Amino acid sequence: RDNGLMAIFEGQTTLEEVLSEFPDTPFCLEIKDKEVEVVKKVLEIIWPSTRKGAFLIGSFHGKIARELRRLSPPSIEGALSENDVLRALLAFRFGFKKVSLPSRYAFLPPAKYGLHLDQREWIDFLHRQRVSVFYWTINEVGRMKTLLERGADGILSDYPDRFTQLPKGGRL
């Protein structure tokens, strides 16, 4: 733990250590904290390592997502907030073909509000909006495989080593 930030990766405990250990690796980060101050702390840490496409950062909390979009340089991509996802979901449910969204990325749980957010039709709808779809937190290999088969663009997991158990040639 470091100033309210924690990264668990092969025994590493801070975001700085992980970035130092893997300088050329693209990262997908989710800010779970609800305090906007943490956005500035995260950006201060990753700013020196920013390169186009190196960071995708999201939060399901609206004020955090808005602050990310406001403060992030163009090299850091932000994901949709919970409110953005709800707006897209309403458009999808009411049969709209298009909805204006502030990001090209969505971090989603497979289910929320008693709704299944992991169905191929929903993923296809988001793809038509030019939104890439990432699911969290998926730790079972069978579930990873199913989501990728349905069109998910990525999976966030507590156990990244399990991806090696997926069939080769699939989308990861």
Q: Supply the pLDDT for residue 169.
A: 55
The residue type of 43 is: L
Give the pLDDT confidence score for residue 9 in this predicted structure. 43
* Chain segment 74-89, per-residue pLDDT in tens: 778 788 888 999 999 9
Tell me the per-residue pLDDT of 121-156, one tens digit each, with 9 for 90 and over.
Answer: 999 999 999 999 999 889 999 999 999 999 999 888
Prediction pTM value? 0.77
- Given a contact cutoff of 8 angstroms between Cβ atoms, the answer to whether 58 and 42 are in contact is no
Q: Which residues of 60-82 are buried (b: 16+ CB within 10 A; e: fewer)?
A: bbeebbbbbbebbeeebbbbbbb
Instruction: Give yes or no for a contact between 87 and 99, defined as CB atoms under 8 angstroms apart.
Output: yes
Buried b (16+ CB within 10 A) or exposed e, 128-154: ebebbbbbbebeeeeebbebbebbbbb
Q: Edge-to-edge strands of the sheet including 154-155?
A: 105-108, 132-135, 154-155
